Amino acid sequence: MADKIVFSQEFGDLRNKKNRKKNESKPKAPSGMKNDGIVRVQRESKGRGGKTVTAVYGVPLSGNELSLLAASLKQKCGTGGTVKDGVILIQGDKTDSVIQVLTEKGYTVKKAGG
C-alpha cells in the first residue's frame, strides 16, 4: 500500500484516472433530445428545489463560443445563468425572450416540453 502513488504535482489525483477519462467525453443531450441542428428551448423546474430555469439544448457551439452566447442571453433577459454540460441554463421562465434572441441570431429554434 505504501508503494502506490495517489497524487503528483504534475498530474494531480491519480486514483481514479480511468473513470475520469470516461466523464470527460463530449457532453450528450439528455434522453429524448435529438442532435439534429435544431436548438430546443424548454422550461424546467424538476430537481431544482422548485426554482424554474430556461434550458437551451442543441446549440452547435462549444467552449468559449457557448459561454459568449450564454452571456448574451443573460444580458438580454436581465437574469443570471450558466453553462453546464453543453446546456445553457437561464434563471426564470424566459423561454419567449430566449427564442426571440436565438431566432435573431439565425438559429432554427423550437419550443420543447409543452
Average of per-residue pLDDT across 20-37 = 55
pLDDT band at residue 25, thresholds of 50, 70 and 90?
Answer: very low
36-50 pLDDT, tens digit each: 778 999 999 888 888
pLDDT tens digits for 72-95?
999 999 999 999 988 999 999 999
Query: What ranges do the domains of the chain cover?
Result: 29-111
CATH code, residues 29-111: 3.30.780.10
pLDDT value, residue 56: 93
Mean pLDDT of the chain: 82
Distance, in Å, from the CA atom of 81 to the CA atom of 93, rounded to the nearest integer, reads 12
Q: What is the largest CA-CA distance in the chain?
A: 61
C-alpha cell at 75: 444580458
DSSP element (H, E) containing 15: none
pLDDT digits (tens, 9 = 90+) for 100-109: 999 999 999 9
Give the other-Cβ count within 10 Å of 70's Cβ: 20
